[in-house]
């Protein structure tokens, strides 16, 4: 999977995607059973300012019809998209626009994206949003990662990259991938068996020390 992020702040996103699991996945080759050779995931960034025809690299303007704030112009975003995937004919491409008004992003959607597409373009807007013609021209889908409004689409884009990457074979180890089945319970413990906080002792419940996996899974609600 190749993620293409269109954002005014690529350095903010790159710090996250270059770290930990995602960072390792960008360096690790796909397994033998993969359809195509290459890294497990790739992440590329495109700043609309680099495609602005304005000498000051301006990418926003006042909204037609009035209203507060500014709107991101269509041309720089479209040019960034063309740079990202415009020449990738014959490959499966999906374009998502980060928007609080969009369809709710879920794990089921992440699995579908990981299975169906080779390239995922994530457009992260700022200001009051993006010129609506971008969505129409690119046949993009608006998605939301939660019922809240952020100052930009970078955090939702990172959440989508993280969630989709987990569904790609080899990105997570066998043990880690089991986390998907444990979301019904957050009850987890590790060493030491007893800790003391403000003179009060907290001990791991006996069922987790019993070795009875059936009862442990029952306790966790799996």
Model pLDDT for residues 44-66, shown as the tens digit of each residue: 999 999 999 988 999 999 999 99
- Show the domains of the chain with their CATH numbers: 2-175 (3.40.1280.10), 185-220 (no CATH)
Mean pLDDT of 164-192: 74
Phi and psi, residue 71, nearest 5°: -120, 140
Mean pLDDT of 193-215: 95
Q: Model-level pTM greater than 0.85?
A: yes
Helices assigned H by DSSP within the chain: 10-17, 20-25, 74-85, 107-116, 133-138, 154-165, 174-177, 213-220
Q: Which residues neighbour 24 within 8 Å (Cβ) at sequence distance 6 or greater?
A: none
Q: Which residues neighbour 21 within 8 Å (Cβ) at sequence distance 6 or greater?
A: 165, 171, 172
What pLDDT shows up at residue 178?
47
């Amino acid at each position: 999977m190749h993620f293409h992020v269109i954002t005014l702040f690529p350095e903010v996103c790159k710090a996250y995607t270059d770290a930990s699991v995602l960072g390792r996945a960008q360096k690790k080759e796909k397994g033998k059973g993969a359809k195509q050779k290459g890294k497990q995931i790739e992440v590329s960034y495109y700043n609309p300012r680099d495609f602005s025809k304005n000498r000051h690299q301006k990418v926003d303007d006042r909204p037609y019809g009035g209203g507060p704030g500014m709107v991101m112009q269509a041309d720089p975003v479209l040019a960034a998209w063309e740079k990202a995937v415009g020449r990738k004919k014959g490959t499966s491409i999906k374009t998502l626009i980060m928007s609080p008004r969009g369809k709710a992003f879920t794990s089921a959607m992440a699995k579908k994206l990981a299975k169906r597409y080779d390239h995922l373009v994530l457009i992260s807007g700022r200001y009051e949003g993006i010129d609506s013609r971008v969505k129409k021209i690119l046949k993009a889908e608006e998605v939301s990662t939660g019922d809240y409004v952020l100052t930009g689409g970078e955090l939702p884009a990172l959440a989508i990259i993280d969630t989709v990457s987990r569904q790609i074979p080899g990105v997570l180890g066998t043990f880690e991938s089991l986390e998907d089945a444990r979301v019904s319970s957050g009850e987890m413990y590790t060493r030491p068996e007893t800790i003391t906080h403000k003179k009060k002792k907290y001990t791991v419940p006996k069922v987790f020390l019993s070795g009875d996996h059936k009862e442990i899974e029952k306790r966790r609600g799996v």
